[in-house]
Amino acid sequence: MERHNETPATRMHAVSHETEEIVDLVLDYSRRRILSSDTPLDKPMAEPELRRLAGSSILDNGIGAKRALALFEHVLAPACITTDHPQYLSFIPTAPTKAATAFDLVVSASAVYGGSWLEGSGAVYAENEVLSWLAKEFGLPETAGGVFVQGGTLGNLSALVAARDHARATLTDAGAELPARWKIVCSAEAHSSIASAARVMDVDVVPVTPAEGGMLSGANVRPALEEHGAAVFAVVATAGSTNFGIVDDIATIAALRPEFTFWLHVDGAYGLAGMLSPLARHRFAGVEHADSVIVDPHKWLFAPFDACALIYRDPEAGRRAHTQHAEYLDTLTETAEWSPSDYAAHLTRRARGLPLWFSLATYGENAYREAVSASLRLTQRIAAEIESREGFRLVRQPQLSVVVFERDGWDRADYSAWSARLLDEQRAFVTPSSHAGRPNTRFAILNPMTTFEQLVGILDTMV
C-alpha cells in the first residue's frame, strides 16, 4: 500500500496505520450490527443522563477512534430507537434489506456524486433503471422519469413546484390572467407535508372532506374545482395515508380532467409500494394518469434512510421548473444529459437510490412482491384477531398495512402509559394516536420479520 509523508494537515486524509485501524474498527462494528439478529429495541434517554454518560467528545486533540466508536456503541446508539426492529410498529417503520444496508457503506466509501451525469453517469444510470422499473409498475409511460430525493416532504414540494410552473406557463401561453392566489386541492386527511409545501410556496390549500371511510373521490373534489377554477394548479391524491393507510379513489379524481385543468400529483410516500402486490394492486387504479408520483423506498421498499423516488410523467416539466442556472453550472445545464439535480429543489446530492438498486439487482423484484404481500396478509390476520376480542374495536378496516384500533374505556392517558410501559420493557414501540377527537393506537406493519405471535403478545398487554 502506497503511503505518503504524513503532516498535521494531511493526517485525516492520508492512508496510514491510524487510518487502517479506524476503517477496521468501523467495518467490524458495521458487520456485527448488520448481521445481528437480536439488536435491542432501545429507547430515548434524557439529555442530563446523556450528558453525564457521554460527556464531551469534541476536544482539541480528539478522543481517538476507539473511544469515539465505543461511546457511540455503548451510550449514543442505545439512546436511539432501533427503527428496523420487528416490533417497531409506530409512525411508518423502516426495514432495509441486508443488501441495501451493506451497500449504503459502499456508496459512502466510493465518493460517488449523484448530482450530474458528467460526474456520476454510472450511478445515475443505475438509479434511473430503478425509477423506470417503478414507473412501469405504476403504469406510467416509458418516457417517465425523475430523481431520488431526501424524503416525501421534499418530493411533494418539488412536484408541486413543477405543477405550479406548468400551470403558470399554460395560462401565460394562452394569454390568460394569472390568479391572485394559487391553490392546491387535497384531502383533509392528506399528509402534513402538503400544507408544509404550500407554506414554502406561499400558496393556499383547499382541504376537502373525504367520504366516509377516509377516501377522497372525484365527487368530493368537484365542488372545490368548480369554486376555485383556474386558481387550482394541482390536486393531490394520497396513495396510502400515514395514519390509516387509506388510498384515495384516484381513478375518479383523474376522470375530472376532461372538464378541469389541473396537475394530478399522487403522494404515495408510504403506500404506493403496495402496487407491487397482487393483493392490493387494484386499490391504486388511476395512478397511471398521474402527472407526478412519489414513493419512499426507505419505507415499504426496504431501503435505508433517506430516499424518496419522485417520478414525473413528463420529466421535462420537472427540468424546466428546477434547473439552476449559474456560470459555473453551464457545463452541466447546457447539455441534454440526464442530471438528477435538474429535477427537484436541490443541487448537491448523494446517489441515494443506489442501495435500492443493489438490493433489487441482488434479490430480484419477486422477492419484493413477496415481502409486501406478507405485510398485507399479516395486517388482515391481526385485524381479524382484534375484531374477535371483546373490548377491542377497529376504527377502520385496513386497506394496506396499518391497523388502527381502540381499547374500550381507555383515554389518552391510558394509551400513553401503556405505550411507555411497552417501550420501557423493550417489548415494542407502539405510540398513541387519535381520530376525530378519539384516542386510539395503531400497528404499522412493514417489516417482514414481524410475526403474528409478536402482535398478539402486544394485544395481550392491553388489560
Label each residue of 206-242 as H, E or C: EEECCCCCCCCCHHHHHHHHHHHHHHEEEEEEEECCC
Please answer whether residues 208 and 187 qualify as being in contact, where contact means their C-beta atoms are separated by less than 8 angstroms. yes
List all residues 6 or more positions away from 145 whose beta carbon is below 8 Å from its beta carbon.
128, 131, 132, 135, 311, 312, 315, 338, 343
State the chain's mean pLDDT as an integer.
Answer: 96
Q: Name the residue with cell 392528506.
A: 190
Give the burial string for 110-144 (b: 16+ CB within 10 Å, else e): eebbbbbbeebeebbebbbebbbebbebbbbeeeb
Tell me the one-letter amino acid at 416: S
- Write out pLDDT tens, residues 203-258: 999 999 999 999 999 999 999 999 999 999 999 999 999 999 999 999 999 999 99
Query: Concatenated DSSP letters for 56-88?
Result: ----TT---HHHHHHHIIIIIGGGS--TTSTTB
pTM of the model: 0.95
Mean pLDDT on 368-390: 98
Whether pLDDT at 141 is above 60: yes
Mean pLDDT on 262-287: 98
- C-alpha 303/C-alpha 104 separation (Å) is 9
Domain-wise residue ranges, the chain = 105-363, 365-460
**CATH homologous superfamily for the domain 365-460:** Aspartate Aminotransferase, domain 1 (3.90.1150.10)
Please answer whether residues 281 and 204 qualify as being in contact, where contact means their C-beta atoms are separated by less than 8 angstroms. no
105-363 CATH pick, 3.40.800.10, 3.30.930.10, 3.40.640.10, 3.30.479.10? 3.40.640.10
Write down the pLDDT at residue 462. Answer: 97
- C-alpha 196/C-alpha 361 separation (Å) is 35
Give the burial string for 293-310 (b: 16+ CB within 10 Å, else e): bbbbbbbbbbbbbbbbbb
- Write out pLDDT tens, residues 169-187: 999 999 999 999 999 999 9
Write down the pLDDT at residue 451. Answer: 98
- C-alpha 124/C-alpha 128 separation (Å) is 6
Whether pLDDT at 131 is above 90: yes
Reported confidence tier of residue 374, pLDDT bands at 50, 70, 90: very high
